[in-house]
Structure 1
């Protein structure tokens, strides 16, 4: 499990994937989200501009990111 400390009210999903180094670029992050490879709180979510907030969990490539 990867723990991510949120600095503000939210972080965009694409920025979160880049911040924890699960993708190399914003373009790659957009592709994996559009392809349905990312789960948000247990459900596949294809929204690129999704706002991830404290307490949310994001799953990608067998890894879980817990936002604190």
Structure 2
């Protein structure tokens, strides 16, 4: 499990996937999210701009990413 440390109050889902190195670009993030391949807190998420806060967990391709303050 990797972690992304928040610099602000939240990070958007597309930015989090890029920061974790799970996708190469924002365009890649857009497509994997639209295809329903990303889960946030166990629920499939289709919004690239979904705001993530401390404690949220992203799952993508068997990788888990935790958002921490």
RMSD of aligned alpha carbons = 0.6
Could you report, residue by residue, the CA deviation over 1:40-66 in whole angstroms, capped at 9, with x for unpaired residues?
Answer: 000101011100111100000100001
2:31 matched residue in structure 1: 31
Which 4+ runs in 1 deviate beyond 3 A? none
Distance in 2 of aligned mates of 1:24 and 1:9:
24
Distance in 2 of aligned mates of 1:3 and 1:19:
10
Q: So what's the TM-score if we normalise by structure 1?
A: 0.97
Q: Are 2:30 and 1:14 aligned?
A: no
Q: So what's the TM-score if we normalise by structure 2?
A: 0.95
- Structure 2 unaligned residues grouped into runs of 5+: none
1:45 matched residue in structure 2: 45
